Chains A and B, each alone.
Chain A
Amino acid sequence: MAAGVDGGDAAGARQHVFLIPESVKDAAKKMRSGLMFVKLVSPCSGEGAMYLFNMCLQQLFEIKVFKEKHHSWFINQSVQSGGLLHFATPMDPLFLLLHYLMKADKEGKFQPLAQVVVDDIYPDCVLLLKLPELEKLLRHVTEEKEIDNRKYYKYSKEKTLKWLEKKVNQTKAALKTNNINVGNRVQSTAFFSGNQVASDSEEDYLRYAHGLISDYIPKELSDDLSKYLKLPEPPALLPNPPAKKIKLSDEPVEATEDYTKFNTKDLKTEKKNSKMTAAQKALAKVDKSGMKSIDSFFGAKNKKKK
């Protein structure tokens, strides 16, 4: 799922609606080129994702797309189907570097960065090496050695977990101060997955922040981080598995009867749903979807989870 910038279809009629930091616009006043969208690896899924580089100020931005069914844009005197809204937000390049450092760690030795950040599929990853203050950044997640004025790096899980803990804490603080997340109504219906636990408990914030950070690190590291943070196993309702699955699997026979009733009810309401208008259907879908991570901001993506 590229951000859609890669389309370049012959018609040339496609328009992309973007929100971009003012700083990029201001920088653009002085530059003649050096803004570019490139495809790099997503550190979480390992698949391709769109990023924006500002080569002038040497900044990295990730592109996230808001996508919800049944939307379109009127842009001046034109119509653009899809109703996509792209966000370019500053990205900590360390998440991307970490992806390569962890991969290189399988070889278990100190290596120069230029040997670590290599990618046959996303060769533009070399742009990362141009970002400023890399050495300072890398100290958060690597051990380093200096031989003959050359730096060699090796991934350190210990340091990385410490770094990630700080990330989680600062994200947690932002969740608390951020109106969008603290508003009770919004929180229970949109940000937390129908959990009946008091929705503003410390643990919920921690778990939610962990979920957000997990969208930037591989699954194994996310699990390690969960242990490191001493996050208790989430109560039976994991955000991801569909409710149906739970109903069908572990319920004792007696209980199944009740649930079957619910199931048939569900089916009936689903049939009713088909009589709803398209817009109402879309709304119904929105209400149901479990919201956990960054995806919750950008509509249902059929993202493969490892």
Chain B
Amino acid sequence: MDDSDAATARQPRVHLRPGSLRDAAPGTLHLLPCEVLATRAAPVERFFTPAIRRGPDGLRASFRGRSLRGEEVAVPSGFVGFVMATEGPGAGLPDPEPPQRDEPPERGWDHRAAATASFGRFTLWGLEAVPGPDARVRGALGWPSLAAAIHAPVAEG
């Protein structure tokens, strides 16, 4: 990664538009237990959403003929979910939002990112069974509370 000076000298900052955090519309997110290699538009509302059934033991759906079981999972308290998209490099374009006084001048190769959707919960899907309490995603969702303890300032003296 640090193979050439040219590469290392270009550590782009990605500026996140604060306005986009305010305005992001609520989105619907599903975490699937399979890898779909494509990243693009997909008619989720036409095929996936209508197949979701709510039963006494959680949600059921199917994808590519396989049966999925799901559960709605809330984002950790004190947190908000956002979907971010990077916008093209801002090279040469005038900055629509002038930088604040104490911010170093923006460099030509910097990128911009914006929140395109927000969410407070998402649906976690498992193959044939709802991902159990040992699922790694659930472990990861416990990270913020632990991180808070690790990074809280300690008392002096």
Contact = CB atoms under 8 A, between A and B. Distances in A.
Interface string B1-39: 110000010011111111101100001111111111111
B146 interface: yes
Contacts of B84: 5, 15-18
Contact of A186 (B38, B133, B137, B154): B133
Nearest to B106: A33
- 3 interchain residue pairs of minimum CB distance: A174-B149, A180-B142, A28-B18
A228 interface: no
A76 B150 contact: no
Nearest to A35: B16
Nearest to A16: B84
A68 B19 CA distance: 31
Interface stretch (A79-87, A98-106, A145-153, A197-205): A79-87
Contacts of B41: 77-79
B130 interface: no
Contacts of A256: none
A14 B102 contact: no
A181 interface: yes
B75 interface: yes
A33 B95 CA distance: 11
A186 B133 CA distance: 7
Nearest to A24: B21
Which of A38, A89, A130, A167 lies at the interface centre, i.e. has the most chain B CB atoms within 10 A of its CB? Answer: A89
A164 to B, nearest CB: 9
B133 A183 contact: yes
Contact of B149 (A47, A75, A173): A173
7 contacts: A17-B83, A19-B81, A36-B16, A38-B13, A39-B11, A76-B28, A137-B153
Interface string B127-157: 1000001101111101111111111111110
B92 interface: no
B111 A122 contact: no
A120 B29 CA distance: 40
Contacts of A181: 142, 146
**Interface band, chain A:** 35 or more
A92 interface: yes
A155 interface: no
Nearest to B14: A37
B103 interface: yes
A185 B78 CA distance: 26
B137 A81 contact: no
Contact of A139 (B8, B34, B156): B156
Nearest to B154: A166
Contacts of B78: 21-23
Given A89-B143, A92-B151, A15 B16 contact: no
Contacts of A8: 12, 14, 86, 88-89, 111
B75 A83 contact: no
Contacts of B57: none
Contact of B1 (A48, A85, A179, A299): A48
A282 B32 CA distance: 13
A185 B132 CA distance: 11
A56 interface: yes
Contacts of B147: 62, 64, 87, 89-90
